[in-house]
Amino acid sequence: MSVTMLGMRVLILRCGEAAAELVLPKTLYRSSGVEIFTLPAVPGRGDLKFLSEHATELLPVDSTPSLEEIQAQPRVEHMAAPQLAPQQPVMPLRIIVIGSDAALSAVLTRLLRADQLWPQIGFVPVAEPTNSAVDTTGSKNVSGPATENAASSTASTAAQNWSIPADPAAALKLALTGEVKPVPLIRNDAGQAVAGSAAISQWDASAMTGEIIVDDATLLQQDAQGSADNASRSLAYGARLVPMLNAPGIAAAVHTAAPQPRGLFARWRKKKNPGASVSQLDPHSLVTGRAVQAGGPEMAVHVDGVRSKRPQKRVTFYRHLRDLQIIRP
């Protein structure tokens, strides 16, 4: 793969073991302005401090309207079609995340909280292996066609949403040479950015008790006895939401099956009933909006597969005032 970076700084973040095993083209190591970092599968705030340092170096002073100034505008155009970032840095900064949706979410969350969402974002989806076969080559190579054992992007909702190629070599080429096509950035009230999807469910994975509203529409309303007034006519186990490519920003639907269990119970359940659905959405319940609000006595909130550490009583997901500068076809 021939890569030429002119007038651009590129940071390549290899998140997790599977990403670290990918053999990058040698030209990247010789390219001026390209830096490569090896990070945990889901990097923390301390792991990503360097992102703000690079962004501040290239844009010491941001003279564009602040979030408070944007919010105070009588007509917020930014909440319509996604827009290119108005910032004019010394040179463009392109951050390429190689890893899972959770890794990308961690990077976006860091940029969101620093209010530095103007960098261009590339994504090479690589799932951490579970019980995959041994790769006899000893590595996974993205300088050529993907091997049979290469981590697949089929597990990446973000890649599917943005039509990013499944082949790591093709995804990396797109991330390096593609153009930015902005999309809405979805976040929650805890300041977490959603890369691919989020889910709201009962903490113990039973039928959900609570209410979920998308803008002015009731998506789910169900009591502890299962009495429901839902967009879905079935017993509801929560809802799943994904970012849209355009306004209003969020698409959400009701879960009509319990979330997938883990561990020994999961294997027993699959053996007893191999045809059982563990993550079924009711397509007739689909609604779109700018914000999703949920309330209930004991909710589990998942952001790109990462579950909240403790039960939540309320959560809000909404479209951020700044858009995501994602590189996609």
Indicate the length of the chain as a whole number: 329
CB 239 within 8 A of CB 261: no
pLDDT digits (tens, 9 = 90+) for 251-303: 999 999 876 644 444 444 445 444 444 458 999 999 999 999 999 999 999 99
Q: Where is 293: in which H helix or E strand?
A: strand 291-303
Q: What integer pLDDT is reported at residue 139 of this predicted model?
A: 41
β-pairing, 217-222 vs 193-194, is unpaired
Q: What integer pLDDT is reported at residue 277 of this predicted model?
A: 42
CB 105 within 8 A of CB 193: yes
Locate the domains of the chain by residue range. Answer: 9-186, 198-303
How far is it, in rounded angstroms, from Cα 306 to Cα 309?
9
Q: What integer pLDDT is reported at residue 234 of this predicted model?
A: 67
Q: What integer pLDDT is reported at residue 150 of this predicted model?
A: 35
- 157 secondary structure, DSSP code: H
Half-sphere exposure of 87 (CA within 13 A, CB side): 23
| In the block, residue with structure tokens 């009230």 | 189
Backbone angles phi, psi at 52, to 5 degrees: -65, -35
Q: Could you give the 3-state DSSP secondary structure of residue 124?
A: strand
CB 168 within 8 A of CB 140: yes
CB 202 within 8 A of CB 118: no
pLDDT digits (tens, 9 = 90+) for 215-228: 999 999 998 766 65
Of 67, 38, 49, 191, nearest to 126 (Cα)?
38
Q: What integer pLDDT is reported at residue 226 of this predicted model?
A: 61
Low-confidence ranges of the chain (pLDDT < 50): 1-2, 131-141, 143-154, 261-270, 272-278
Q: What integer pLDDT is reported at residue 127 of this predicted model?
A: 82
Q: Where is 30: in which H helix or E strand?
A: helix 26-30
